[in-house]
Amino acid sequence: MDNKTRDLEVEFQARIDSGENIEAKDWMPEKYRKTHIRQISQHAHSEVIGMLPEGNWITRAPSLRRKVALLAKVQDEAGHGLYLYSAAETLGISRDQLMEQLNSGKAKYSSIFNYPTVTWADIGAVGWLVDGAAIINQVMLTKTSYGPYARAMVRICKEESFHQRQGYEIMLTLCNGTEVQKAMAQDALNRWWWPSMMMFGPRDEDSPNTEQSMKWKIKKKTNDELRQQFVDQTVPQAEILGLTVPDPDLKWNEKTGHYDFGELDWEEFWNVVKGNGLCNKKRLADRNKAWDEGAWVREAATVHAEKKANRRLNKAV
């Protein structure tokens, strides 16, 4: 590294330390740029792929009320993907490159969306747990150091809170329903609890990037801290539903003021990350199908816009 770059890096870190935001045209270390492109695009891909397991239930929602809510939620997730792709593009990557990385399987997205939504209760569990876990992460990210990312997060967080509430309300309705309905809610919790816990990523000691991310204020809390926050906040909500969290080691710890909980199945975690989850292949296939089948629309819109522009030009002459 030459002297000038070193000086710039010192100055950059000082700006971060003093709580300043970094904006798109500011000087930044190459690694800061690359880390952000990767993280923001993974986040964007997660919003987009996240529409698939829920979209699966829109046509089968049990009432019109549930249907408009789910439709609005899924539409929000599309918007979240767009806000985040725009934030990533400020760092010098194009939308087409981002799409290519997703569609080719090169890019990662949150593993949670590689689990199937097999019953209507899963839509309740996803809103409650998956959006709940996402909100914890996203609230932290509203304070992240990169301006465009932080602003996207503020917008997203405003929209997220209804997502979790609509999910919880579905669970509540099922839990106040028949025995079969309540069993369905319990079954959904059983299947979604651990994958939701995994959303916060590997344990701190297995997360080599955490230190740098904290130094650059990309993250303000570690994976384990966020996971603990999720447990502490969610367990009482499960109690109100009258459901049992599927963790025999879960218990309140008077001394720490937090819940203790059991070890996650890290083998499953890495297995899904590596592409061997139940739905990894289907999600990518669906995504590619939508992209390919939309190609003619994108092309037609371009040609139509050119034609209109030419017509205006001819009139002007």
Partner 1 sequence: MNKEWPIWEIFIRSKNGLEHRHAGSLHAADAEMAIQNARDVYTRRQEGVSLWVVESKHITASNPEKNGELFEPAADKVYRHPTFYTLPDEIKHM
Residue ranges binding partner 1 (CB under 8 A)? 23, 25-27, 72, 75-76, 79, 82-83, 86, 89, 94-96, 151-152, 155, 159, 298-299, 301-302, 304-305, 308-309
Residue 305 binding: pick among Fe ion, partner 1, none (C-beta 5-8 Å cut-off by kind): partner 1
Least separation in angstroms between CB 242 and partner 1: 33
Residue type, 276: N
Residue 284 is classified by DSSP as: H
Residue 131 binding: pick among partner 1, Fe ion, none (C-beta 5-8 Å cut-off by kind): Fe ion
Least separation in angstroms between CB 313 and Fe ion: 41
CA–CA distance, 56 with 5 (Å, rounded to integer): 50
Name the residue nearer to partner 1 (CB basis): 82 or 245.
82
Residue 27 binding: pick among Fe ion, partner 1, none (C-beta 5-8 Å cut-off by kind): partner 1
Judged by the rule CB under 5 A, the positions of this chain that interact with Fe ion are 47, 77, 80, 131, 160, 163
Residue 202 is classified by DSSP as: S
CA–CA distance, 171 with 186 (Å, rounded to integer): 9
Least separation in angstroms between CB 297 and partner 1: 10
Residue 163 binding: pick among Fe ion, partner 1, none (C-beta 5-8 Å cut-off by kind): Fe ion
Least separation in angstroms between CB 86 and partner 1: 5
Least separation in angstroms between CB 19 and partner 1: 17
CA–CA distance, 276 with 200 (Å, rounded to integer): 19
Vertex 72, ends 70 and 77: CA angle to 5°?
95
Do the bridges between strand 258-260 and strand 251-253 make them parallel or antiparallel, or are there none, so unpaired?
A: antiparallel
Name the residue nearer to partner 1 (CB basis): 258 or 298.
298
Exposure on the CB side of residue 287, measured as CA atoms within 13 A: 27
User: What is the end-to-end Cα distance of the chain in Å, rounded?
Assistant: 56
155 Cβ neighbours under 8 A, 6+ residues apart: 83
Name the residue nearer to partner 1 (CB basis): 47 or 247.
47
